[in-house]
Amino acid sequence: MVATRLAIFATIISQSTAQSIAGFGSSGSSESGTSLGNIDHPVLQAESYVTDARIPNSHKTNDTRRLARSRPPRLAKGNTGGSTCVPRSVLIDDLHGVKQEMMGFGMSWTDCTVENLNKLQPGIFHNVMNELFAPHPIGNDMGMMRHTIGSSDMSGRQYSFCDNGPSFNEGEPDLDLETFALGEDGQAMVNIIKIMGEYKGDVFLIGSPWSYPGWMKHNGLAVAQRLNTGTSYNNLNNSFDRQYTKQAVAYFTKYLDAYKACGVQVNAITLMNEPLNYQGGYPCMFLDAADAADILNAGLGAALQERNVSLLAYDHNTDQAAYPMRVIQRAPGFVNGAAWHCYAYLANYTVLEDFHEAFPNTPQFLTECSNYKPQAGALNWAVADAFMLPTQFGSSGSTMWVMATDEKYGPHAPWGGCDACSGAIIVNSSTTYTKTNDYYMVGQFSRFVRRGARNYKVLRGIEGDISTKGQFGIIAINNPDKSWAIVFKNNLNRTETVRLSFTGTSHVWEGTIDNATLTTWLIPSDQVLLETSGRRNSTSNNSTGFPFLGKNATTNTTTCPSPTTTTTPAPTSTSTNPETPLLPVPNTMHEVPQNVLANQKPTSLPTCP
């Protein structure tokens, strides 16, 4: 395989540098060579993996395919393989269609996730971490993760790192952040993220706060009262008080230093999760783009650069695309990327292409999308749409929301937010856990797409979009070993025979994509095909060890099935109106003084206990 690696290296040297992620760090070591698709672990034969979109009737039954091996695509060499279906022609532009460099796919660390995983006995905990982060075929090999800075709606207890009061809603201004501390829940999170590095060290880790400490806001509350009169849930004063700009700078730098002291390198932050969301009932805070830029210009931008931490602007929906552009223009040199969420109706990811035209060297990411109460027996495309569509239009990676819950989708805030956000893992007890369909859907991407891979333009074969009744989606990723990971979403109510070709090679691959499935094809590099073909020819002209279709060979005849009726739930925001009764938010009458003169004094750096 020496010749293969040299050929791959030569190709990488000559490759276009469209929208690179080269400047972004990782939480630990460099990419593990054991991950499939790396130069040291190349794809050697065509493979296919499939997960059914239908939610199983029970998490405890195995009546659907989940990352199951399926019949791999075969080199067609010009014939139709005997299929009675008219093949769907898929064309990848590998000559001129190189697009963004990929970071990876993953999920999110929340207090809910940490609390549930920490309930598991050590041996069971080890199994879960392996299944989340170990390389294929053991685990999902997730390479991009997000975590909450302080609490979120997926927290049973609410807190920031500097409440300075008897509770999260009763804090007084702490101008020098003398009371800054990760606290019990914050410490538990950094500890488990550090453990994550023992299973996969090259994770790209993003930190996002849901609110600053309450005393940094105009209403003085970390969690504002819930208003649900009419259609409005927003609190106009649930917003950042800019007189505390310097304190916000110190808050982020202390958090980064505290994590570093505990052995965790944070690679990127967003200044606020959903900065245009100022609801009550769970931690939220309005942060105007001008205020976000001013925080960067007041010292945080320089502090991030000193710590090798990137800044991702925005972290909200695609319907307000001007926000990250305003931050970039007002804080030049301090923004490294843009972050988007999936909750706009309908999520218009062409916005990412517009953003790329304006800022071609600024990578973009889909940092949050949730799956809300999946219904047994229904088709669910939440993960597929959150990962495929943004990638198609320029995203370098995606993270789903909560990674693990208990059997009641908790713990979560009792006053508002998401009461039924589904994760990849359900912790049933200290000795048992269940992998949901989301786990397998995420694995269809994260197991097979490596950091540094390239997305390529699909010239032909995609049908429909999120606004149409049926879709046939395709993304084509070229990994560092020059193999291809081609992901297909088939929601057309019929099985499709696919003939896959490239603009830069004569190879034509043929295979079947079943109805209502997410399917990933792994296609070896041309160099591997050449070497494999040479070995076959030197041994036996009749060898069938590699999945070729010979000159006169045929596959089993495929009969086109009749369409079947399916349903596709739409993505749901984490602020979905909950079905269960909500409790009133405590201590919402607390007030903090306004127009405080903020004296700055040197403070000591935090240490990890």
Question: Which residues carry out catalysis?
Answer: 274, 368
Selection from 270, 252, 155, 151 nearest residue 208 by Cα: 270
Other CB atoms within a 10 A radius of the CB of residue 183 amount to 17
Rounded Cα distance between 397 and 196, Å, is: 19
Q: Name residues whose C-beta falls within 8 Å of residue 408's C-beta, 6 or more positions apart in sequence.
A: none
- Give the helix/strand (H/E) hosting 445: helix 437-446
Selection from 457, 529, 453 nearest residue 37 by Cα: 453
Establish how many alpha carbons lie within 13 A of residue 343's alpha carbon, considering only the half-sphere containing its beta carbon.
22
Rounded Cα distance between 110 and 258, Å, is: 18
**Angle between helix 322-330 and helix 350-358 axes, rounded to 10 deg:** 20
Other CB atoms within a 10 A radius of the CB of residue 567 amount to 9
Q: Are strands 433-435 and 472-478 parallel, antiparallel or unpaired?
A: unpaired
**Angle between helix 526-539 and helix 2-14 axes, rounded to 10 deg:** 160
Q: What angle do CA 265, 28, 207 make, to 5 degrees?
A: 35
Identify the burial level of 58 via C-beta atoms within 10 angstroms of its C-beta, where 0-12 means exposed, 13-18 middle and 19 or more buried: exposed
Backbone Cα Rg of the chain = 25
C-beta separation of 447 from 141 below 8 A: yes
**Which pairs with CB-CB distance under 8 Å and at least 24 residues apart come from 501-508?**
501/89, 501/90, 501/91, 501/92, 502/91, 502/92, 502/93, 502/94, 503/91, 503/92, 503/93, 503/94, 503/95, 503/96, 503/97, 503/459, 504/94, 504/95, 505/94, 507/75, 508/75, 508/76, 508/77, 508/78
Selection from 548, 550, 513, 519 nearest residue 85 by Cα: 513
Rounded Cα distance between 540 and 538, Å, is: 6
